[in-house]
Structure 1
């Protein structure tokens, strides 16, 4: 018996307009959170759907989600409005953005329009103030190190069963240190930290985007969310499109006073930040498959590692890492793709 679902149902039915609610599963995500849809009439109008988040206390904390959602919503960011909350039980009743993931809508004809919306919303996020009751944690050296370690621990050693030599450990340590230094040198802004096509929902016939899964937001490098979007782990776009989106965003955010970088500097920030992001993501995908049994994420590892291969090829300082990746790791991934 699902005691959490029973408690969630009891709580929802105590909210005005939801006395007859029957939660139906929408999805889980890469964490312990679950989401359910309910119909309600909180304003005595026609029944309409809402989302209930189940975040088990001890495993998930709804506090950051609530603080960030209220701050961003107040500043005009299209995040779900919070209709009711129970922080002790880990339940939230939220505005429903539907199920139309950006990923499922993208095609060559509409991607520039939809990415334009996403880039505009991102520049807006980067200009927001911090929540008064929840200063965003820093994207500091320790966090960057922990994230890149996922590549070694979960992808290389656990998933690919590589027995790394001392020389290979040294190569990885040197690469990680370079990427960490580059990330910490960038101007800092609010960072969503998972800003990609599965966390953006298409609303109103491609007229707007809803933003979800922002509870892990931090204050960190100005290009982190940009590279999450334009070098998405779930979909690939031609380099010429990526170049244009990066330059559009550079100009947008420079005009907003968020940095003073020229074109070449900003593109270099994107390249190195993307490598940090993709080291982390490929390790997380392996961990989700091995530890949590979510094997569908294995399909996204080759695309993610290929971003690493291409970016390192353009970095003379990372030539040895690039050669090692090409000869030691990529051949082990190719049979899995086949």
Structure 2
């Protein structure tokens, strides 16, 4: 770790002139944060100028999509960080500094709809980009993501016998994948939520962590934003926002279905994402030692339960989820958070 940081610091100093800063290169970097990956972020500060230095070890992180997508979206007018310099063989990048103001605290302070408006407007802008270079969010990817639920949540976390779930989950995954692929396909960020959106000093909303973007279902990022694993809103409020966004899409010429069908697309797309996220949170905890995500599992699981209850075709799955509640409450770590969620 220390050796990588020393190398990154020297690399930033070597390429500092490309920032066009009037100040001398910084002698050291300040830790900003890590995230759910192996990337580490540092602030390179000199006088009044500040940039973000990224350490993304190439044996653990493929940064090519981040750079390529970032350049295309930046050119299209989306507020993603400008890439000043990137050396992908070393796994180092120097980026525009978006500051530290995430959208999440603003949502927690103001429980109205106003803080969401920039996020919805930015999403609408993003979905209008004609980014044909993005890979497809195809059947294999959709099902592989959902498979994290049975592998990491049911199997490794709860220790359940997966054979008891195979038929139910196979049917569910097929239903959700088909519905997702039947939607209009647009650029999808794939993690568009309050911790990946930043309030910038110039009033814009900054978009980060976009490197996994694909061409996929039009409701995916909308459900990622409005069914956020880190903050929750009443279903009635969410449904109003969904309909307002659908109307905005129609006004922009998107061929989206009527209100009821679009809302069902939203809920079923949410189920696909929530299956994935519950599995990812368990994997981050059990494999990567990142226990901070445990507390967010009950909220995400609750979204999944409520969506399954809405539609009769998921009755079998809904019943299976309800049967898990005693197991979850007795779990030595998850139980505390599930009790607090009730």
With normalisation by structure 2, the TM-score equals 0.92
SS of equivalent residue, structure 2 residue 141: helix
- Corresponding residue for 1:189? 186
- Corresponding residue for 2:113? 112
Q: Distance in 2 between matches of 1:88 and 1:156?
A: 38
Q: Distance in 1 between matches of 2:163 and 2:54?
A: 45
The CA deviation at 1:109 is 3.5
- Corresponding residue for 1:2? 2
- Corresponding residue for 2:12? 12
Q: Distance in 2 between matches of 1:239 and 1:152?
A: 26
The CA deviation at 1:70 is 1.3
- Corresponding residue for 1:330? 325
The CA deviation at 1:324 is 1.0
- Corresponding residue for 1:311? 307
Q: Distance in 2 between matches of 1:116 and 1:244?
A: 13
Q: Distance in 2 between matches of 1:298 and 1:286?
A: 7
Misfit runs of 4+, over 6 Å:
none
The CA deviation at 1:110 is 5.5
- Corresponding residue for 2:159? 161
- Corresponding residue for 2:141? 143
Q: Does 1:176 align with 2:177?
A: no
Which shifted more, 239-248 or 261-270?
239-248
The CA deviation at 1:272 is 0.4
Match of 1:220 among 211, 216, 222: 216
Q: Deviations over 1:130-174 (max 9, x none)?
A: 27xxx11110011011100000000011111112344x2111111
SS of equivalent residue, structure 2 residue 81: coil
In structure 1, list runs of 5 or more residues that go unmatched: 41-45
- Corresponding residue for 2:31? 25
Question: Do the aligned partners of 2:26 and 2:44 also contact (CA within 8 Å) in 1?
Answer: no
- Corresponding residue for 1:67? 68
The CA deviation at 1:257 is 2.4
With normalisation by structure 1, the TM-score equals 0.93
- Corresponding residue for 1:271? 267
CA distance 1:38–1:108, change in 2 (3 Å): closer
Q: Deviations over 1:95-145 (max 9, x none)?
A: 1111111112214646411211101000100111227xxx11110011011
Question: Do the aligned partners of 2:150 and 2:162 also contact (CA within 8 Å) in 1?
Answer: no
The CA deviation at 1:259 is 2.3
Pairs aligned (count):
327
The CA deviation at 1:254 is 2.0
SS of equivalent residue, structure 2 residue 71: helix
- Corresponding residue for 1:86? 87
Q: Distance in 2 between matches of 1:221 and 1:311?
A: 18
State how 1:216-255 maps to structure 2 within 5 Å: 216-255=212-251
Q: Distance in 2 between matches of 1:114 and 1:290?
A: 34
Q: Distance in 1 between matches of 2:67 and 2:263?
A: 34
Question: Do the aligned partners of 2:58 and 2:89 also contact (CA within 8 Å) in 1?
Answer: yes
Question: Do the aligned partners of 1:65 and 1:214 also contact (CA within 8 Å) in 2?
Answer: yes
Question: Do the aligned partners of 1:254 and 1:261 also contact (CA within 8 Å) in 2?
Answer: no
Q: Distance in 1 between matches of 2:89 and 2:291?
A: 32
Question: Do the aligned partners of 1:194 and 1:214 also contact (CA within 8 Å) in 2?
Answer: yes
Question: Do the aligned partners of 1:21 and 1:39 also contact (CA within 8 Å) in 2?
Answer: no
Q: Distance in 2 between matches of 1:267 and 1:162?
A: 33
Q: Distance in 1 between matches of 2:214 and 2:126?
A: 12
CA distance 1:214–1:111, change in 2 (3 Å): farther
Q: Distance in 1 between matches of 2:227 and 2:116?
A: 12
- Corresponding residue for 1:97? 98
The CA deviation at 1:234 is 0.9
